[in-house]
A and B are shown apart, each in its own frame.
Chain A
């Protein structure tokens, strides 16, 4: 961590399982309440963090064998939330029994957060870092709209939407 990075305020570490995602949302709601976030921004935070945690649950590990780590760092102007795994990197796990993900996770995170960064290397885990301003200048979804549309197969097609 660099010298000017804010100190961690809340750290959650739990098995990367589906039932943990709601627990992260509850913790986030408590944190946001203490910081007097606007309800609309809290809603965006919950959704973005849910998608990031879901990516860890679905993609990071073989069944039930890894940790989901969430850090919430309160800065002067914003709250940064880091969702981290120590898995094999961003790749689908074809052996899993869940229906395939819609592929909307990262586009949603980009649209809902005021800033967003994805870090990861094969074999060393993945980190999604999202920042939410206490006072927004505008709607981030206007700057980073969710791209794509529902394709002919009924699934999300990330290609260019019709003009």
Chain B
């Protein structure tokens, strides 16, 4: 199993979950952008699940903000989620950049999927 995987989970139907695991920085940000592009191209809501992520840097935040902007432009729901406990390498950058309410970041994948369904502007 790949340590720093980024995979799409479409079992929620109309919302695609981009599952991000491990450490991510400028090296893996292009892969994240590809996965986000693929998720956006499906036309439904998008959830980025950082529950199993252990580290993300500003390259990752840049990719998330770009995807969020494009989702908003095309009325697709976009939500980031974390688990009950969040690695300091993820929580800290979200906290000090004030991006929790902006992206937005919710706790729990199910809640995030529901939110992505309802914040797309057409659901």
Contact = CB atoms under 8 A, between A and B. Distances in A.
B52 interface: no
A8 to B, nearest CB: 25
A58 B99 CA distance: 23
Contacts of B61: 102, 104
Size class of the contact patch on chain B: 20 to 34
A105 B26 CA distance: 12
B43 to A, nearest CB: 19
A47 B93 CA distance: 8
B97 A22 contact: no
Size class of the contact patch on chain A: 35 or more
Contact of B26 (A40, A43, A54, A104): A54
Interface in A67-105: 98-102, 104-105
Contact of A104 (B23, B58, B88): B58
Interface of A: 18-19, 21-22, 25, 39-40, 43-44, 46-47, 50-51, 54, 57-58, 98-102, 104-105, 108, 111-112, 141, 145-146, 149-150, 153-156, 161
